[in-house]
Amino acid sequence: MSLPNKAAAAVLAKLPSHYIEAITIRIAQLDSVAGDEQEIVMAQFLTSKTSAIYASPGGLERAKELIKEALGRDATELIGTLQQTIESMPFSFVKKVDSQTLLQFISDEHPQTIALLMSHFTANYAAEVLGGLTPEKQLEVIRRIATIGRTSPEAVAELENALEQRLSSMVNMQQANVGGVESVAEILNVSERSIERSIMEALARDSAELSAEIRRLMFVFEDISKLAARDIQTLLKNVETSQWAMALKGASKALQDKIMENMSTRAAENLREEMGYLGSVRVSEVEATQQKIVDIVRTLEDNGEISRPTGDTEEQYVN
Q: Model pTM?
A: 0.39
**SS3 category, 302:** helix
Position with higher pLDDT, 137 vs 87 = 137
How many residues does the structure list for the chain? 319
What pLDDT does 242 receive?
92
How far is C-alpha 9 from the chain's CA centre?
Answer: 26
State how far the Cα of 86 lies from the Cα of 71, in Å rounded to an integer.
20
Q: Could you tell me if 221 and 290 are in contact, meaning their C-beta atoms sit under 8 angstroms apart?
A: yes
CATH of domain 221-302: 1.10.220.30
State how far the Cα of 128 lies from the Cα of 272, in Å rounded to an integer.
38
What pLDDT does 83 receive?
62
CATH top-level class of 92-216: mainly alpha
Q: In the chain, where do the E strands start and end?
A: 32-33, 56-57
Q: Which of 30, 186, 207, 215 is nearest to 118 (CA)?
A: 186
State how far the Cα of 55 lies from the Cα of 36, in Å rounded to an integer.
9
State how far the Cα of 29 lies from the Cα of 94, in Å rounded to an integer.
10
State how far the Cα of 190 lies from the Cα of 184, in Å rounded to an integer.
10
State how far the Cα of 266 lies from the Cα of 218, in Å rounded to an integer.
33
What pLDDT does 255 receive?
92
State how far the Cα of 242 lies from the Cα of 205, in Å rounded to an integer.
40
Name residue 177's beta-bridge partners: 150
**Where is 104: in which H helix or E strand?**
helix 99-106
Name residue 150's beta-bridge partners: 177
Q: What is the mean pLDDT of residues 303-308?
A: 81
State how far the Cα of 168 lies from the Cα of 86, in Å rounded to an integer.
18
Q: What is the mean pLDDT of residues 104-119?
A: 82
DSSP assignment of 177-238 equals B--SHHHHHHHHHTS-HHHHHHHHHHHHHH-HHHHHHHHHTT--GGGGGGS-HHHHHHHHHH
Contacts for 79-82: CB closer than 8 Å, 24+ residues apart: 81/21, 82/21, 82/24, 82/25, 82/28
Of 75-89, 101-115, 139-153, 226-240, the poorest mean pLDDT is in: 75-89
Position with higher pLDDT, 275 vs 122 = 275
Position with higher pLDDT, 135 vs 175 = 135
What pLDDT does 7 receive?
79
Q: Which of 216, 215, 290, 219 is nearest to 249 (CA)?
A: 290
Q: Residue 221 — pLDDT band, cuts 50, 70, 90?
A: confident
